[in-house]
Amino acid sequence: MTYSVQQGAASVFYDGIEHPDYFLWDAWSYEQDGILHLYSLAVERILKNGVRLQPHERNNVPFHVRHFSSSDHGESWHDLGCFQEPRPALASFDARTVWSSSMTLLADQRKLVAFTGLAEQGSERPFLQSMAMAFSSDGNAIDADSIQLISSPVTDWEEITAAGYYLAERANLGHKDGEDGGPILAWRDPYVLEVDGDLHLFWCAKADRMTPALGHAKLNAEYQIDTLYPPTRLPDDNGFTQFELPKVYHDSENQQFYLIGATCNRLYEGQSDAEVDKQIRMYVAESVRGPWRPHSPTGSSLGLGAKHMFGMTVLRADFSTGELLCIAPYTEAADKPLTFSAPFTIKLNPEA
């Protein structure tokens, strides 16, 4: 991987993105007018106090969403800078930091942003997550006056648990040690898909303290949750404890839906990455409500865990050829952790 900086221009990266100044992880994207737009979480490699940050320490400091674009199918990427930051001055639901998001190009060409905000609750409860909606006029910055909270485990605890989702008691929400001995709170990574004029929201949730689930809701005209569906269990969820960064793609011609997510079998937040198996998985269904089944007779894993990839996004879906153009960050276990791979292709029918 190489990068170059032109005077007065943004950084340009080839063969993936190995940023000299930032660690990058998690990916989401959209395409408009032939331009690919890629977003990721980012944090400085060297903090303002001069301390060099280690990859596993990144959750200890605030980070931001970074924006890249490509006009050559991902062969090169331009760094367009910070897209979104936390808002500590407002003491809001995203005062501590922002977590993963999605950018949906709506049928009317507006850009709908769904994102995770983490509130400032002190060192014992650093992972208190909520989900929000906003718009971006140009894809380069979030429209701050459009941000609205759509779901909070604190204020919506009764509704969430009544629908069948698992949450710890309010006093322990977002605790650094996880929920009742399991992984940390899961109410994050919202992703919006427009299907036949309806907006569907998907996110990372839990069915019980050790069982991940896909959250699913339908949004109303004000982009608030209208229908909160029960948690969706995945057919092989006995093999992992977290299902993160869900993304759903629709092949309208063949009426197929493809669900892609990142999984791991982490038992508790402080567990060493060397003990954790991370995979990227894909499922298929004939309905946006499922039921989901593994995309291949051999299972749901795409086999990218061996390459230390996690948090993948589909840059372009060509359902006519059955190919997905993808890009993914590398995990902490990789030779160059928290950098991006070069784009690669996944076939929807691997046995064909």
Domain boundaries, the chain: 2-347
How does DSSP classify residue 288? T
Report the alpha-carbon distance of residue 131 to residue 300 in Å, rounded: 27
Best-predicted range by mean pLDDT among 57-61, 126-130, 345-349? 126-130
User: Amino acid identity of 235?
Assistant: P
| Terminal-residue alpha carbon distance, the chain | 32
- Judged by DSSP in three states, 275 sits in helix
Best-predicted range by mean pLDDT among 4-8, 105-109, 191-195? 191-195
Distance, CA of 290 to chain centre: 20
299 has a pLDDT exceeding 70: yes
Query: pTM for this structure?
Result: 0.95
Q: Which of 319, 311, 313 is nearest to 344 (CA)?
A: 313
Report the alpha-carbon distance of residue 14 to residue 191 in Å, rounded: 28
CATH of domain 2-347: 2.115.10.20
Query: Within 116-205, where are the H helices?
Result: 157-162
For the segment 213-231, the average pLDDT, to the nearest whole number, is 98
Query: β-strands 256-264, 11-14: how paired?
Result: unpaired
The answer to whether the CB of 111 falls within 8 A of the CB of 141 is no
6 has a pLDDT exceeding 80: no
Q: How do residues 154-191 score in pLDDT, each as one tens digit?
A: 999 999 999 999 999 999 999 999 999 899 999 999 99
Helix (H) or strand (E) holding 102: strand 97-105
Please, what's the largest Cα pairwise distance for the chain?
A: 56
**Phi/psi zone of residue 223: left (φ > 0), alpha (ψ -120 to 50 degrees), beta?**
left
Give the pLDDT confidence score for residue 2 in this predicted structure.
Answer: 33
Give the pLDDT confidence score for residue 350 in this predicted structure.
Answer: 63
Give the pLDDT confidence score for residue 10 in this predicted structure.
Answer: 56
Report the alpha-carbon distance of residue 99 to residue 93 in Å, rounded: 12
Output 6 or 156, whichever has higher pLDDT. 156
